[in-house]
Structure 1
Amino acid sequence: MNNSASARTTELDVSAATAPASQPDRRWYSARSLRKEARNNYQLYLMMLPPLAWLIIFMYVPMYGVQIAFRSFRAVDGISGSPWVGLKYFKKFFHSYDSMQVLANTFEVCFYTLLAGFPLYVLLALLLNNTNRRRFRRFVQMSTFAPYFISITVVVGMLIQFLSVQDYGIVNNIIRFFGGEPILFMTKPEWFSSIYTWSNIWQGAGFNAIIYIAALAGIDQELYEAAVVDGASKLRRMLHIDLPGIMPTVSITFILAIGQVMNLGFFDKIYLMQNSLNLDRSEVISTYVYKTGLASSLPNYSYAAAIGLFNTMINLVLLLLANRISRRVNQTSLW
């Protein structure tokens, strides 16, 4: 009996030792942790307040006005007083004779700019990172970064001057020098996308390469030292150390660029480059919305809001697709 009693006592002790402890209230624990975190790092939370307030005021509050895309908006009635019309203005846009041309122009300009510029920004950062001459690297960084601070209006004026057929047109003077005929670049619809894209790349190359230069600076230098000892050339180091090291940054920035691809941040540049002769290829969604919603003698705010909302939905779908593909390909994504 003594043996059996001691055995039962041992089993009770073991079960008591292995039994899970009573779990504290997770909600109370998380609230206490949050208060403690806020108290210990209140300076950081105070620094977050201005951008958070800006985000709420300028990004979320205006979303209330999106509903005018589904209403026949009249200023005297206000947003809530205007009658609902459903998808009337979306159907109106798709049934208009120039909707497909506007969409095609937008996709052409946007993806041309993205696919031509994005690899060049990465390549510029890689080349600058592998340049041993410090003065030359600083000169290239400065010369590529400086155009970013030039006004869009000034850039368009420069384009008009450089591409002019007059004597001061540098490009056409070069064409004449080699025996060619001058080209009216700004009036040829087929040249519009190329002029817009490559002038954008010239203006933003240095600025867009900064983030990749910063990512390259964070790569462990011991990897380069080991590669040099093994006899790896600069090209090998670039392909097997630099590119894999910045690939997460490249993936994230590419996803963000895809999500903004339809926005065309340089609306004013496209609008200034437009004329009656190149309008077939230069009319994009942003300029079309401006002309129908604000610049028209009879502005249709609901119609313009519907087109803008449709444009935003395209950006959202592209962002979701890019994020999903990136997560499957290289396990890097926004969420």
Structure 2
Amino acid sequence: MMQDVHAVPVVERKQSSELGRRLWRNKWIYIMLLPGILYFIVFKYVPMYGLIISFQNYKPFKGVSGSEWVGFEHFQRLFTEPDFLNILSNTLILFVMNILFYFPIPIIMALMLNEVRGEFFKKTFQTIVYLPHFMSWVIIVSISFVMLTMDGGIINDIIEYFGFEKINFLLAPEWFRPMYILQVIWREAGWGTIIYLAAIASIDPGLYEAARMDGAGRLRQMWHITLPALRSVIIVLLILKIGAVLELGFEHVYLLLNSMNRNVAEIIDTYVYTAGLKQGQFSYSAAIGLFKSFIGLVLVMIVNRIAKKMGEEGVY
């Protein structure tokens, strides 16, 4: 039996018209998505063109098309740099500290807030812990400086009051990492609870009611209902966090960096600024940025695959 040659165009027209109707029906959703899409196009995808200079000896007055191609020369320089291993280890140590000490804190705080029954106290506490997120790192570090300085800092005054010697928190290398992670927790832990609280709010209340009828207390409800419901969210956020393994943020560390703690405080982001941008080595800086992005992409793919093997949804 011969196929009707007119059937295929008719089906295609029906499908396209149905697609058009769905798009028009949900037009406000797509309009709402438009700013986010434009943001990623303008600030994430368009700048990828600039990665070309990683393989060039880029000269601003010559432009991308006129600059000399040098291949992997900048990457070879990065990997043979005497301080590269130290800078990489500093970055990885701070990242591991973020995972071990900061990442669980928003989860714990969300679980604790979920157990609070007093609405006024709950809202007040949320406001207090959200507030630091809206302060810049300059303010956070400045407050820490005022509190920790040896000349009139309240922390050192308390230490001296109890008969101990003052501690130079700001210059001592051994205090840089604890100070860094405590500032991260102070600024971001409260804000990080928002996603977990939203996930908790979506849990069916009937599950808690059934658990109470079976004699389960609050701790058992948390362990057997709340935490399993949060597992997929935790996995996704952990994968995204691991993807930013070399992205600790320039501003925070740079504000804490000084000549006394540089050996433990210099990370890849600050190295890009001091060794790359300040000296006009744009191609070298771009090569380091490409290296960071490549490592993050590979880790996201590996961890996402592991999550899939474990039965989780992952990020894609």
TM-score tier by shorter-chain length is: over 0.9
What are the ranges of 5 or more consecutive residues in structure 2 without an aligned counterpart?
1-6
Residue pair 1:114, 1:261 contacting (<8 A) in 2 also: no
SS of the equivalent of 2:206 reads helix
> 2:202 matched to 1:213?
no
Listed as ranges, the matches of 1:254-293 within 5 Å are 254-265=238-249, 267-293=250-276
In the TM superposition, 1:133-282 aligns within 5 A as 133-166=118-151, 168-265=152-249, 267-282=250-265
Structure 1 residue ranges without an equivalent (≥5):
1-21
AA of the residue aligned to 1:185: F
Task: Give distance in 2, aligned partners of 1:29 and 1:118.
Answer: 50
Determine if the alignment matches structure 1 residue 79 to structure 2 residue 64: yes
Q: For residues 173-196 of structure 1, give each alpha carbon's deviation from its aligned partner in whole angstroms, at most 9, with x where no partner exists.
A: 222233322111111112211111
Matched, 1:131 2:131: no
Structure 1 residue 49 and structure 2 residue 30: aligned? no
Q: Does 1:117 align with 2:102?
A: yes
Segment of structure 1 superposing worse, 99-108 or 146-155 = 146-155
How far 1:130 moved relative to its partner?
1.0
Matched residue, 1:11: none
Paired residues for 1:318-333 under 5 Å = 318-333=299-314
Tell me which residue corresponds to 1:13: none
* Matched residue type, 2:147: F
Instruction: Name the count of aligned residue pairs.
Output: 310
Task: Give the Cα–Cα distance (whole angstroms) in 1 for the partners of residues 292 and 43 of structure 2.
Answer: 19
The one-letter code matched in structure 2 to 1:57 is V
Cross-structure match for 1:65: 50
1:286-301 superposed matches below 5 A = 286-296=269-279, 299-301=280-282
Aligned equivalents of 2:188, 2:299: Cα separation in 1: 23
Q: CA RMSD in A?
A: 1.8
Q: Indicate the structure (1 or 2) with the bigger Cα radius of gyration.
A: 1
**Offset of 1:29 from its aligned partner?**
5.3
Gap change, CA 1:170 and 1:300, over 3 Å in 2: same
Percent identity, aligned pairs only?
39
Could you tell me the TM-score, scaled by structure 1's length? 0.88
The corresponding residue for 2:4 is none
Counterpart secondary structure, 1:39? helix
Provide TM-score, normalisation by structure 2.
0.93
CA offset digits 1:9-58 (Å, max 9, x no partner): xxxxxxxxxxxxx9998755543332221122222223333322222122
Specify the SS of the correspondent of 2:313.
coil
Q: Residue 26 and residue 292 in structure 1: after superposition, are their counterparts in 2 closer, same or farther (change >3 A)?
A: farther
What is the rounded CA distance, in whole Å, between the counterparts of 2:261 and 2:219 in structure 1? Answer: 43
The structure-2 alpha-carbon separation of the partners of 1:330 and 1:306, relative to structure 1 and needing over 3 Å to count, comes to same
